[in-house]
Amino acid sequence: MQLRWFRSGDMHRLDHEGRLYFVDRLGDTFRWKSENVSTNEVSDVLGSHPQIAEANVYGVTVPNADGRAGMAALVLADNVNADNVDFKSIATHILGALPRYAVPYFLRITPQLDYTGTLKMQKGRLKREGIDVEAINALGDRMYWLPPDGKEYIPFTKEDHEALKSGKVRL
């Protein structure tokens, strides 16, 4: 057997019988519902909403789900805070602009985003914290989610996280 490869930007694994399996896309995308989602495209759509100043989009693991669900860390526009943001308007905006698989299930409201020295948004810490609502709340950020078939982002609670872990709710 002759081994050949093509640099696709995808990570694969090879099993003991020589079969190749897709694992993840490397770079600024994540895979959800068998689709590759461009974080930049989702970020651009979110950033065009008048109540959002900045958006950092990334994929997070969710219990009982394959791939990574979309999550966005948001910095709100001036004079907008978590108490007066229109989460229904944000959901309507993004649901109308993106295919359902690309719509972030989770939003994280934060006062500022982290950048590298070359002004690239940092995602590593955000990905590691994932959807751990207690850790996110402990940092002073607030977390919201768009429940399956939901039309508005609502607060994501410890009970919601438990429902995902137990399989009572599936994304």
Q: What percent of the chain has pLDDT over 90?
A: 70
Q: What is the pLDDT of residue 120?
A: 80
The sign of the torsion formed by the CA atoms of 32, 7, 45, 61 equals: positive
**Both tokens assigned to 122:** 């940092």
Give Cα separations from 142 to 26, 49, 153 (angstroms): 28, 19, 12
Evaluate whether 61 touches 70 at the Cβ level (below 8 Å): no
pLDDT mean over 58-68: 93
Q: What percent of the chain has pLDDT over 70?
A: 90
pLDDT mean over 17-35: 77
Superfamily for domain range 29-166: ANL, C-terminal domain (3.30.300.30)
pLDDT mean over 43-52: 96
